[in-house]
Structure 1
Amino acid sequence: MTKMVPQTEEIAPAPGAAKQAKEQATDSNPLHLLTRNLRTSGIYIAFVAIVVLFAILTDGVSLSPRNVTNIVLQYSYILVLAIGMVIVIIAGHIDLSVGSVVALCGAVSAVLVIQQGYPTWVGIVAALAVGMAVGAWHGFWVAYVGIPAFIVTLAGMLLFRGLTLQVLDNISLSPFPREYSRIATGFLNGLIGGDGYDAFTLLIGGIAVAGYAVSSWRSRMAQLRYEQPVESLPLFIAKIVAVAAVVMAFAWQLAHSRGLPIVLIILAVLVIVYGLVTKRTIFGRQVYAIGGNLSAAMLSGVKVRKVNFWIFVNMGFLAGVAGVIYSSRMNGAQPSAGEMFELDAIAAAFIGGAAVTGGVGTVVGAMVGGLIMAVMSNGMQLMGVEQPIQSVVKGLVLLLAVAFDVYNKRRAGASR
């Protein structure tokens, strides 16, 4: 009699298990982790490389305390615009009017403060209110009427440039009172002493480094709790040390010049606030959802029109802030103020990693992109490079940044 031997039944793998296992194996691959980290951190590596390059080409003049301070003062308003622009681009839109809005806000502030003698705070509030009103105008046409942002803001660029000429009666107004001009040219120094340097600036730099380290550690712990891949601990520590070295070197240069610029404090507050808004709030997640997949965002209950409206109101507000800073820096208002600012802000966002198709980008990335443009412009000026050549270089850098984004998307699509 034949003895029956029970056969073991083969269990079919669960749907998606093979794919999940493949992704886990890929994530644990050191080469893949290194490639991914280089892709996400490439903008920071490029920034450091550009700083070092121009330091060599200018015999160290670009890193002198005075020049580092001048970079902060000269390009702060572009960085403010880049914060708003990256949010607009993440949502899949564009704003071509911000340069004209900067000019209009500065013009309104100048008329009130210089011509009519109102206090400084009245001019600042009026500039911010005008910026938000312009943003609401754009938001209405984009969100509720359905006209593409490119057309609406192109019309706005012409419209608000014309209003600027009307407000100023086609003449320049100057000077502002000292308290107004201190917004973009004032410094905090001597608060806690220092022998040949400003200790307060170094203290603020140390606090910034500590805050970044704590925030990065908490983010890493959260990723580990959710079993998400993270870089190795030595690489994580090396990144913190590198950031700390750059920040403290920057603070050291400022401390040996004129101290901590007031405009840098304004910019730091905006970066922190908008970094939290984009990453930790419902509004921020909805902006990414709209830019990433509009249909899915609508099906998931996102009020797309409302979000788009407030995106442009926010852009107008930041254009008002930039208008105050720029008019303070120039100590007056001019009809031609803000020309080409929109292109610098857009370039900063794209160089900083924002995707052309929307859904991708960060505030910090836009800041780094703006600093790359600032360092290049400043370095070429120190080298005596002619303006046409500077424009060619900036255009090529922007083109390469967008090409790199397109290449990464194709590469990611091919690996799926």
Structure 2
Amino acid sequence: MSKASIKDIQKRQIDIRKYTMIIALVGIWILFSFLDKSGTFLTPRNMSNLFKQMAVTAVLAMGMFMILVDLHIDLSLGSLVGLTGGVCALLMYKLGLNPFIAIILTMALGVVCGVITGTWVNAGVPAFIASLGGMLAYRGAIMGISRGESIPISDAGFRFLGTAYVPKTLGLIIAIIACIFVVISAFKKRNARIKFGFKVKSMALEIIYLVIYVAIIMGFVLLMNSYKGIPMPIMIVLGLALILSFVATKTKFGRQVFAIGGNKEAARLSGIDIKKRTLQIFIISGLMAAIAGILLTARLGTATTDAGNGFELDAVASCVIGGTSLLGGEGTIIGAVLGALVMASIDNGMSILNTEAYWQLIVKGLILVIAVFVDIYNKKKGRTF
């Protein structure tokens, strides 16, 4: 089988996972709307809150995605969310720094923590142990510097990141631009595939797909506009997703990260600097954790010592549910974001149904185990998801 044919099959496998995720998400929404006798779940207000709630997990999942693709894991991300959110709040509350400067310094802290973990891993310490040590150290650090107290934030400019909404007219303009971009990209990709002799969908099927994509984009924006507009945290998530998707699929760095996850020894023999790439993915992971910490603190208006507790597990679950393989070398940023939306939908729906907290943990745990089992089973059998 030619290399082109193999890549084509792999691409179709990823597409199948992506569409399966969308179908599963719609199914979850329908289920909760049926169980919710108050009719709250599918209201524009609750959907807006749902998307705001998933933003932190989505940002963290994008960082975890890079780690998992490279066959590592970072258990420190949840604690790092708490530490960076707390440091950002302290910089503004105690030192009186400008929010912009506080955010820059907080992101720098995330990068430094990523460098520390990546350096330990490159030194031969298993990522599980290195990040476990970080998880404990970061949690202890935020408890120490905050003295166990919550840190309030009232700065309107900072709170804007977590609570503001995009003006409705601007939201529509962004949606139209996005639709135009999707259509142009689709036909450009189609022409390129035809030029190089690859199989393409029929024009009728291509148009149907485009209609669905455009309907999803416009439907989302119109739904958000029926409340207050697109939440600012979601705009940040979409911006980061576009950047990281480009990095993961269109750059030398991204291709090498996937190559390392797919076959580390082959990657080493082909001349890829594995230690350099490992350090870089942990830097990205630390940076994304810092951004998640900033968004969480901005949304809640306060930083607490237990902020981010267990978030690393939600991030792993989001990635795996979204199609990222724990065996490395496979997955997409968009899948990780969709996985985060699934996790947030389950949390939100069960909260509306007044389900006990322990049941929420049990359900998420079962979903994670099943998702990993399906991934490993399909890998062994050579099947698609």
TM-score of Structure 1 vs Structure 2, range by shorter chain: over 0.9
TM-score (norm 1): 0.86
Of the three residues 138, 150, 158, the one matched with 1:180 is 158
2:52 match: 73
1:317-355: CA deviations, max 9, x gaps?
111111111111111211111101101111000000001
1:203-259: CA deviations, max 9, x gaps?
222222322233233333333333334444433332222222222222111101111
Of the three residues 133, 143, 168, the one matched with 1:155 is 133
Aligned-residue offset at 1:39: 4.9
- Kept after mapping to 2: 8 A contact 1:113/1:176: no
Of the three residues 92, 95, 100, the one matched with 2:79 is 100
Aligned-residue offset at 1:139: 0.8
| CA distance 1:326–1:132, shift in 2 (3 Å) | same
> How many residues get paired?
379
1:135 match: 114
Aligned-residue offset at 1:37: 5.7
Aligned residue type for 1:177: D
2:99 match: 120
Of the three residues 129, 137, 142, the one matched with 1:164 is 142
Q: Write out aligned runs for 1:13-412 (5 A).
A: 38-39=16-17, 41-58=19-36, 60-143=39-122, 145-189=123-167, 198-412=168-382
1:6 match: none
Work out the CA distance in 2 between the residues paired with 1:213 and 1:385. 42
Q: Which runs of 5+ in 2 are unaligned?
A: none
Secondary structure, aligned partner of 1:95: coil
**RMSD between superposed Cα atoms in Å:** 2.2
- Kept after mapping to 2: 8 A contact 1:44/1:368: yes
| CA distance 1:40–1:80, shift in 2 (3 Å) | closer
- Per mean C-alpha deviation after superposition, the further-off stretch among 58-67 and 312-321 is 58-67
Q: Which runs of 5+ in 1 are unaligned?
A: 1-18, 190-197
Aligned-residue offset at 1:371: 0.6
Aligned-residue offset at 1:36: 8.5
- Kept after mapping to 2: 8 A contact 1:110/1:176: no
1:20-72: CA deviations, max 9, x gaps?
6xx79xx99xxxx9999645532222122222222332255222111111012
Q: Which has the larger radius of gyration?
A: 1
Work out the CA distance in 2 between the residues paired with 1:413 and 1:272. 29
Aligned-residue offset at 1:108: 1.2
| CA distance 1:116–1:46, shift in 2 (3 Å) | same
- Kept after mapping to 2: 8 A contact 1:81/1:345: yes
Secondary structure, aligned partner of 2:152: coil
User: Among the aligned pairs, what percent are the same residue?
Assistant: 36
- Per mean C-alpha deviation after superposition, the further-off stretch among 369-378 and 49-58 is 49-58
| CA distance 1:206–1:54, shift in 2 (3 Å) | farther
- Kept after mapping to 1: 8 A contact 2:109/2:290: yes
